[in-house]
Amino acid sequence: MQLTITNLNKTYSNGVQALKDVSLTINQGMFGLLGPNGAGKSSLMRTIATLQEADSGSIALGDIDVLTQKEDVRKTLGYLPQEFGVYPKIDAVTLLNHLAVLKGITNASERKSLVESLLQKTNLWESRKKNLGGFSGGMKQRFGIAQALIASPKLIIVDEPTAGLDPAERNRFLNLLSELGENTVVILSTHIVEDVKELCSDMAIINKGQVLYKGNPFEAIDGIQGKIWRKRIKKEELVDYRANHNVISDRLIAGSPVIHVLSENNPDGTFEAITADLEDVYFGKIFSN
C-alpha cells in the first residue's frame, strides 16, 4: 500500500494558504511529518482523512482516489487527531464495543474478540472496566489508537500524539506505534524531532504549507555533518551574530546563549565543530537564512 500526494493546495477563507503544491510519496512503515505549529501539518492530515476539501491536487491510497472516494478511504483509515473527546463515564470495553458496532462489526463474538485483542495490544486490559474519565493522558492516547485500529486500517494517521505525555507514557506509546508501522502506513505528524528520529525510516519537513525536505532522517543528518558549529556568546551579542552568521538555533545554558551555526567552514575561527543531529537538520530547514 502506498499513499501518493500530488500538488496539493488548500487556502482557507481568511486567506491563509495552508498547503502549497505539497507532493509526497509515503510507503508502508512509519513516516514522520515534522514542522512547527501552524506549518500545515494538521491541514494535510485532515485532508488525507477526508475531513476537509482540497482546492486542487490529488491524493491516492493505492487505487483509491482519496478526494472523491471518501467512504472507501474511511473504511480503511485509522485516525487519531491531536485532540479527541471520550465519554468520561463509560468504561473502555463498552465504548470500544459501541465503536465497533458503528464500524459495521455486527457479529457479537467477533466484536468481543476484537475488543479484547485491542485492549491487550494497547496495554489497557487491566483498566478495561475503568471509566475513561479516570484515564491518564497516555492511557487516553492508547485508547485513541485502539479505536483507530478497529477496522484493521491500511493507513493510520496520528497528529501530535506524544504532546503532554510523561516520559514513561511517551515510551509506551512510541513502542506501540513502532509495532503498528511494521504492517501499515503510519503517518506521525509532530513537532518533536526525537519522535521522528527514534521511529521513522522516512520523513518530511514542512513549514508555511511547503515541503522543505523529504527523505531518510539519517541521510539528512549525514548531509550536514561537519557543517554545524557551536559557540557560547553573551546575550547582547545575539542580534549581531544573527545578522552576520547563519544561526539556526540558540538556547540558554546557565544563563548564556549557546548558538548553532550552519556553515561550510568555521564562521570566524572561534566556533567549536560538533556532531550534527536531526534537530540541526530541522532548524536548518526551518530557520536557515
pLDDT tens-place string over residues 3-19: 999 999 999 999 999 99
Instruction: Mark out the alpha helices in 41-156 (DSSP H runs).
Output: 41-48, 70-75, 92-102, 108-121, 137-148
pLDDT in tens, 167-210: 887 887 788 888 877 788 999 998 889 889 888 999 999 999 99
Q: What is d(CA 127, CA 92) in angstroms, rounded to the nearest whole number?
A: 8
User: What pLDDT sits at residue 212?
Assistant: 95
Instruction: Mark out the alpha helices in the chain (DSSP H runs).
Output: 41-48, 70-75, 92-102, 108-121, 137-148, 167-180, 193-199, 217-224, 238-244, 278-287
Residue spans of the domains in the chain: they are: 3-215, 222-287
Residue 289 has pLDDT above 60, yes or no: no
User: What pLDDT sits at residue 288?
Assistant: 66
Are the C-beta atoms of residues 146 and 118 closer than 8 Å to each other? yes
pTM of the model: 0.85
Lowest-confidence pick of 28-32, 180-184, 237-241:
180-184
Strand partners, 32: 188, 203
Average pLDDT, the chain: 90
CATH code linked to domain 3-215: 3.40.50.300
- Mean pLDDT score, 95-124: 90
Q: Which of 197, 159, 216, 157 is nearest to 181 (CA)?
A: 157
